[in-house]
Amino acid sequence: MMAQLLNGLQYGLLLFLVSSGLTLIFGVMGIINLAHGSLFMIGAYVAFLVSKATGTLWLALPVGVLGGAALGALLEWTLFRHFAKREHLDQVMLTFALILLAEELRWVVAGSDFHSVPIPAILDFSVPVTSGFSYSAYRFAVIAICLVLALALFWWIERTRFGAVVRASAENPEMVDVLGLDARRVHLVVFAAGTALAVVAGVLAAPLTSVYPGMGDSLLIISFVVVVIGGLGSISGAFWAALLIGLVDTFGKAYGPSFQGTGALGTLLAALSGSSVYLLMIAVLLWRPTGLFGQRP
Amino acid sequence: MSVSKSLTRRGALAGGLAVGAVSVVPTRFAIAQPKPLKVGLMLPYSGTFAKLGENITSAVEMLIAEKGGKLGGRVVEIVKLDDESKPEKGPQNAERLVKRDAVDVLIGTVHSGVQMGIHKVVRETGTLTIIPNAGANSVTRELCAKNVFRTSFSNWQPAHGMGLALGKRGVRKAAWITWDYAAGKEAGDGFREGLEKHGGKVVQSLTLKFPETNFQPLLAQIPGLDVEVVGSFFAGGGAVQFVKEYKAAGLKVPLCGSGFLTEGTLAAQGDAADGIETALHYADGLDNARNLAFRKAFKEKAGRDADVYAVQGYDAAQLLAIGLEAVKGNVEDEANLYKAMRGARIESPRGPMTISSSQEVVHNIYLRRVTNGENKVVGIAAEALADPGTGCKL
Amino acid sequence: MIGPVRMLPKTWTGWALIWLGFAALAVVPFFATPFYVGLCTTAMIAAMLALSLQLLVGATGLVSLGHGAFYGLAAYTVYLLSPEGDAKPIWLTLPLAMLAAGMAAFLIGAISLRTRGFFFLMVTLAFGQLVYVIFHDTKLGGGTDGAYLVKPLISAFGLTTDVTSLPRSRRAWPAYYVALVQLVAMFAILVLLLRSMLGRVLEGIRVNEARMQALGFDTYRYKLAAFTIAGALAGAAGHMWAMQSGFVNPELVGWHRSAEALLHILLGGIGTLAGPIVGAFAFVFLDDLAQQVTERKLLVEGMVILLAVLLLRNGITGLRWLPNLPDRDPHASHDPRDGVVQQSREPEND
């Protein structure tokens, strides 16, 4: 039980790193980025390549942060800037194309094999949680790093002047233009930060999940669910929704299948355990169509 | 080796046009030179299973080269098609080979879902098909067809061997853990049936969605199950991750499984895999002359080490060669072609191998234990194990 | 709001071109090899799916990423009606498949349409994934590997076509013509629909939903009607896929399927009803060509999409040399944040 809680927490926090970027980029720029999952994949492959080249994962973190930010800035500058006011369809297709191209890039750089990324040596041990079950120290480290990043993000968005502008433009894009603040600079920074977060999430997750082709795909969809439940453009919404989903998903998968064979209802529960996250989303939408933390229309 | 590689996909474009023009002429006027035999390879050359597709291809090409580029007296042309391991494109891709390129034989594929698509098409067209990997049971059970053979395994087989070996040893209570998909379920059935034959039982089946690797929720349940052993079916990156996390969770219950758990993954699993027992129809270190010769030749040809997938591909080509030699390359003579293939006795690198009445491979399942980063054969889990072929009426 | 419908040709030459295209399709099997007859059938099925989605995307301004769910659901309905062993006639399977897809679309639409714009996109994506998970994780339709079905029979007026009784070179014909008839019928239905009251209201919603609400229209109901109809029509496409391939697999439901349909619309032209058909044919044949000349098909696909998005903004049907096909309205631009269309406040800053 304790272990499941930890699993849910760790999964939820990683989800938060990915979906906070998604929700920020959307909130501030009005851009839907389907390729956000690919950024996660890129991060995982960065971890793989860096740890293969240097023998340690730690270097992958700064590479992920800086490289991610640079990649984000580049993408914003060359492509997304010009798509902020285009139709949905154009944005969807642009980012869909980026998914395909990211897969090709992955193939060129790292091939199509599954690769495992070694856990850093100093964290490669297990901490006994209960008698008979231990929890990996690296997972504890991931929880800690994610929490630190989340706190930093809160501080940045809630306490700094730049954060105030970001919040303002998420709530009312016109206002920022009117006030003469440099909207372009805000967009550039937000997109770079969002990209870096997704890349870092990929780096952190690499030793836990292995790296493999198309690994960003399922995460992308779950991140969308997080953003929908949390409310668009809301960082704290994304945080609580990510934790909620991490826990619901973990417990659903852990205990759902054990209902198998306990009557018709049990079988139904077991069958739906893989979809618990989506059912949660439906419930939230019926209750509050703008998400738990979204503004009422 | 380049004899058989005379037709690449690019060539096939021009070739297809030429064939289209020629086919207007009735074939009996064109007997001066026997037409080349077209062998279509529908395999993954991109995506997760690309490496498997490449090894199977190299092995098929190797056997054809050994036979001087000819099978049953006909020069072989190979047409390759990347199936991307995408099931929804399976039927269309199979039609590309069978209808557009008009191949005489189709060898494919790796992914079971894609295999279903191929199977649908070739059951209708009657094209001779040899499966070099995909293990979906149904292809040689209720959906079996007289023109479809398999030289790899059914998902049921290796896990059944594992179950038998454990049961014989006196194991009474075991858990089973796998991905919640057809292959995992079929392997689970094999494991359970093997165990039950000797009075053992699978008390709990734990599953997670394919291809997720969030094993923690499942691992956390194992201490409470009170079982003697945990059986499993995972492959590729999932297997690497699973074995490492199993070790990291500090579980005391020994882990075992269908051989794919430690196949091609040992380098990445490191010492976390030490002592794991698995059952499979092959092991790299299998000590017989045929295997040693095969591995040496493959290494020379492909520049890579051979593996179980290369063996399966090689045997697919061996089986085809036996059939074609019996009918002198005349694939139209279906009755005799299939009869020869069904009666084939093949000296495979994996040991002796025959074909069952449901056209499934019959072979030994070896019990292996991971020692020093290698799957060491410690015995035979099941000798000449045949798939039950339930529901096949041939 | 009287006058020509935006998405339909405004001149007789435009109409002539469309009907000429259908007529050309009608004679294709006489000239093509069986494989290409099959490929054209595939293209027509893709065109049907894209056409049904165009009712949402082009006509109403709703971009859905869950449309593949209705397509896949219909294919699975055919499987559930006629698992291996017992073929059912098409007059039974088609309506039931459309009904199942339509009902699912009604339910999913009823919830999704409570949201707007970007939210709507994500919610439909998640719903599509839910349907995918159901077929992927349960034994209902054969699980991950998918399952076979007996192809429904093409029977009418007591006559039944047994495909195997035809010569080999003509076995692909029945499916081809059944697909063609359905494609033309779907096009005709959508033409009528766009000209109807519903079509006009949807156009109004696309341009300015707030104004339509102010005028007293319950826009939610109209959007739900469009979503349901589009879902049922996607069901016809899915049914046809099952008929042609005789095979179902969870990947049919996945969101990549929806993205592909969107791509066909984009490629063909978002502003015209004929666009999705042109786009689907262009893409299917481009795909086949790419398959033959390169091992890196995804690279080709990715580049094609990128170029289409960057350069071909009005799609193939929006190219200038085509006679007077309607153009994308240059003055309206969506604000993706709320899905409400407003007069663009400034020229694009690129």
pLDDT at residue B9, rounded to an integer: 43
Residues of C in contact with A221 (CB under 8 A): 125-126, 129, 255
Burial class (CB in 10 A: 0-12, 13-18, 19+), C106: middle
What does R_g of chain A's alpha carbons equal in angstroms?
20
B residues 64-93 closer than 8 Å to C (CB): 81-82, 84, 86-88, 90-92
B225 versus B20: the higher-pLDDT residue is B225
pLDDT at C148 over 90: no
Residue-wise pLDDT tens digits, C265-313: 999 988 899 999 999 999 999 888 887 777 677 788 888 888 888 888 7
> Is some CB atom of chain C closer than 8 A to the CB atom of B19?
no
Q: Rounded distance, CA C350 to CA C2, Å?
A: 36
| C-beta of residue B235 within 8 angstroms of C-beta of residue B262 | no
With CB atoms and an 8 Å threshold, state whether B117 touches C251: no
Q: Is the pLDDT reported for residue C329 higher than 50?
A: no
Q: Is the dihedral of CA A17, A18, A23, A29 positive or negative?
A: positive
β-pairing, C147-148 with C159-161?
Answer: unpaired
- Chain B residues close to C254, C-beta within 8 Å: 88
Contact between C339 and C117 under an 8 Å Cβ cutoff? The reply is yes
DSSP B348-363: ETTEEEEE-TTS-EEE
- Compute CA B161 distance to the chain's CA centroid, rounded to the nearest angstrom: 16
pLDDT value of residue C328: 45
CA distance C231 to chain A (A): 18
> Average pLDDT of chain C?
83
Closest-CA distance of chain A to residue B112, Å = 18
**pLDDT higher than 50, residue C338:** no
Give B141-163 pLDDT, tens digit per residue: 988 999 999 999 999 999 999 99
What CA–CA distances, in Å, run from B245 to A109, A283, C111? 27, 34, 40
User: Which of A66-70, A71-75, B203-207, B335-339 shows the lowest mean pLDDT across its residues?
Assistant: B203-207
Rounded CA separation C146/B145 (Å): 18
CB contact under 8 A, A4 and B217: yes
Name every chain B residue with its beta carbon within 8 A of the beta carbon of A108: none
- pLDDT for B8: 44
Q: Looking at A35-49, A159-173, B54-68, which range is the least confident one?
A: A159-173
Q: Where are the domains of chain B?
A: 4-153+287-359, 156-280+366-385
Determine the longest span between alpha carbons in chain A, in angstroms.
64
- How would DSSP label each residue in C221-278? HHHHHHHHHHHHHHHHHHHHHHHHH-EE-GGGTSHHHHHHHHHHHHHH-TT-SSHHHH
Q: Could you give the angle at the alpha carbon of B147 between the alpha carbons of B141 and B149, nearest 5°?
A: 60
Pair of tokens at residue B93: 């891709």
Distance of alpha carbon B30 from alpha carbon B329, whole angstroms: 16
Q: Examine the pLDDT at C347 and tell me if it is beyond 70.
A: no
Q: How far apart (Å, rounded) are the C-alpha atoms in residues C67 and B129?
A: 35
Could you tell me which chains touch chain C, where touching means 3 or more CB pairs under 8 A? A, B
Domains, in order of start, for chain C:
12-343 (1.10.3470)
Which pLDDT band, with edges at 50, 70 and 90, does A182 fall under? confident
Strand segments, DSSP code E, in B165-233 are 173-179, 201-208, 229-233
pLDDT exceeds cutoff 50 at A5: yes
Domain extents in chain A: 2-214
Ranges assigned E (strand) in chain B? 37-43, 70-71, 74-82, 105-107, 128-131, 148-150, 173-179, 201-208, 229-233, 255-258, 277-280, 345-348, 351-355, 361-371, 374-385
Nearest CA to C205 among C19, C337, C103, C58? C58
Residue pair A284/C115 in contact (Cβ under 8 Å)? The answer is: no
The string of pLDDT tens digits covering residues B248-295 is: 888 889 999 999 999 988 887 888 999 999 999 999 999 999 999 999
- CATH level 2 (architecture), domain B156-280+366-385: 3-Layer(aba) Sandwich (3.40)
| Superfamily the domain B4-153+287-359 falls into | Response regulator (3.40.50.2300)
In angstroms, the CA C120 to CA C54 distance is 16
| CB-based contact C277:B112 (threshold 8 Å) | no
Give the burial class of C197: count Cβ atoms within 10 A of its Cβ; 0-12 exposed, 13-18 middle, 19 or more buried: exposed
The percent of chain B in helix, strand and coil, each rounded to the nearest 5, is 45, 20, 35
Name chain A contacts of B208, Cβ cutoff 8 Å. Answer: 253
Choose among A134, A135, A209: nearest Cβ to B213. Answer: A209
Residue-wise pLDDT tens digits, B352-378: 999 999 999 999 999 999 999 899 999
The answer to whether B46 contacts A112, with C-beta atoms less than 8 Å apart, is yes
